[in-house]
Amino acid sequence: MLWIADSFEAIRDFMNLGGPVLKAIAVAIFLMWVVIAERILFFRAPVRQMAREIHDKWEARQERRSWHAHQIRELMISRFSEASNKGIDLIQTLVALCPLLGLLGTVTGMISVFQVMAVSGSGNVRAMAAGVSQATVPTMAGMVGALSGVLLVTLISRRAAREVEFLEDSLTMDH
């Protein structure tokens, strides 16, 4: 149990080291991973059940060749595509936001360094070090957060496209 307390203390120290912008980055990364986890869980079972229900509903139709039937098919595929792609835009936005917040952290940290230099000159290295860490830690955290999401959002997008394509292929137009 001591390791849990040590872990929380290390996280707290890291968050304090990066300044207030690091907290915004942490929130963005947390939200990104919540949506990623939701999408991963969606593609485990609910997407298959939804596709099966659409397929069964389509196969139960008596007539599948008319313009009206074609429009119904397109509507079913469109709704499935919408459900499959839900949240992907949010993930992509959060991935893009992480490096921007890191850059904001760099700017605010460098402003802190310049304030120390203006007050005490360039001789007070210890005071400048806090600003330098406040400038570099958010940049690193923003890049790590973005990189962690880029791969998964690509995989999730491909999976969604593949599921939609599979459903399109399974809904036959004969009868």
Tens of pLDDT, residues 115-142? 878 887 766 777 777 778 788 899 999 9
* Cα–Cα distance for residue pair 76/60, rounded to 1 Å: 14
Q: What is the pLDDT of residues 11-68, one digit of tens each?
A: 888 888 878 899 999 999 999 999 999 999 999 999 999 999 999 999 998 888 899 9
Higher pLDDT, 117 or 100: 100
- Flag whether pLDDT at 105 surpasses 70: yes
Residue 4 banded pLDDT, cuts 50, 70, 90: confident
Q: Greatest CA span in the chain, whole angstroms?
A: 85
* Cα–Cα distance for residue pair 5/12, rounded to 1 Å: 10
Q: What is the pLDDT of residues 53-85, one digit of tens each?
A: 999 999 998 888 899 999 999 999 999 999 999
Whether the CB-CB separation of 30 and 101 falls below 8 Å is answered with: no
Whether the CB-CB separation of 39 and 88 falls below 8 Å is answered with: yes
pLDDT at 175: 55
Residue 101 banded pLDDT, cuts 50, 70, 90: very high
pLDDT at 104: 94
For residues 103-118, give the mean pLDDT. Answer: 86
DSSP the chain: -HHHHHHHHHHHHHHHHH-HHHHHHHHHHHHHHHHHHHHHHHTTTHHHHHHHHHHHHHHT-S--SSHHHHHHHHHHHHHHHHHHHTTHHHHHHHHHHHHHHHHHHHHHHHHHHHHHHHHH-TT-HHHHHHHHHHHHHHHHHHHHHHHHHHHHHHHHHHHHHHHHHHHHHHS----
* Cα–Cα distance for residue pair 51/64, rounded to 1 Å: 18
For the CA atoms of 10, 113, 137, 6, the dihedral, rounded to the nearest 10 degrees, stands at 0
pLDDT at 20: 87
* Sign of the dihedral defined by the CA atoms of residues 6, 8, 11, 15, in that order: negative
